[in-house]
Structure 1
């Protein structure tokens, strides 16, 4: 090891899962750099992740404010029923997990907590998300990557691909998956946050979303193995509602002061439905 910066243990453990996004070569790791056998080098951030995009993050990447709102809501336990169900859905024998669109690393950490022999690689286009995810779990390695592009992951290399409310690049999922592995997706159910959608005029859930997802995955050689609906109605506070709106795509279409003002005009707590579809896909 060279230099004064310590190599993140999780990244050192997962370096064999990564491949160079420029040439597909294998990586080696020093204290400050991830380098492939053809000499392409990527610097390690002091927060413990590696940036493999080689470019500024795009406008659609989650902002620091969005990531902070997501972390606050998830840490409050509002989505605990989903975290528990997702962890239970991960195969007991899974050892290598890739979480595409990892965000804060919350769901990858939930899987790692119940799979003590597993390691995980979290990928996200947002620098703010990667900074936070890199501190989330000692067995979670983190890299910046575009979920819609070629993933910087080796062929046939992982047991589980997670995609929780994130882009679903089915062709790439199938490429990195081992023959006996599985993809686990989480998508919003028909009633997900229905009370907030109606009250705040939020983006809706497309009626044909599940059917289109099936068609895309089938074209990539993946088929539904099993599926479950996770639903729960809880009394939410105004802060819960505001965080939920500001942590996702709705944040790009609304102003913070408007959301807070609208929430302040309502009586709280009020019931809010969490409705999520967990689907496990296999080859």
Structure 2
């Protein structure tokens, strides 16, 4: 399938992108909802390919409230093709991870969109990409995804139906909360309390097909679908610099525990490098110890 040009796929003001990238959420327009791979029959065919790979999909109920703890929402023991049939009768949220593994059209799309983002950024400035992947979110009407944050840079595209996306800038999370998250060595889903956020920092994107937005790393958010089925596409990536930032925050967690008031990431390049190097060893070791202790318990 021949894709439109990268400039047509993602339309955004360059000055806005440059000034707000990875610090503040901002909207853009796109063409993805018109592509054949996102039409209902194609999505149903894609969902049918996931049945033997349970690690590549996640299906759950709707959260009762935006402030519900993320993993308190019950998962559903269904396969993606079965979940599609449930959307009209049961509040359901489905995540299909890495569709580029199952259909080369998604690989071509991911590569084209990422090239566009790199061009908008003015290059990667020496950073190396350590993870680049996409995902599809298919949800029933009136479904809620509870408040959380993700440790990755995200570009989000609404394909079908409506979705109200409530997102805060990364600055809405207290630094101690980030340190507590990154010291665990986690790679997905950071849990924070919605009730303690500054409401004045909230951005609300009323998404419809052809609209999208950029979600910075660690930007907390919750989501509510509209009165019909919702389909969204997102691609995320991490670089060696964004991963190092997490390790610096992990190091600061330990420094704070011994009474030191550490500098935030970016304040001192030499200190950042030393912290990141040390924690590159410490965090995986700590993760293995925790796993072993959990097995013993």
Q: TM-score, length-normalised on structure 1?
A: 0.24
Larger fraction in helix: 2
Higher relative contact order (CA closer than 8 Å, sequence separation 6+)? 2
Q: TM-score, length-normalised on structure 2?
A: 0.24
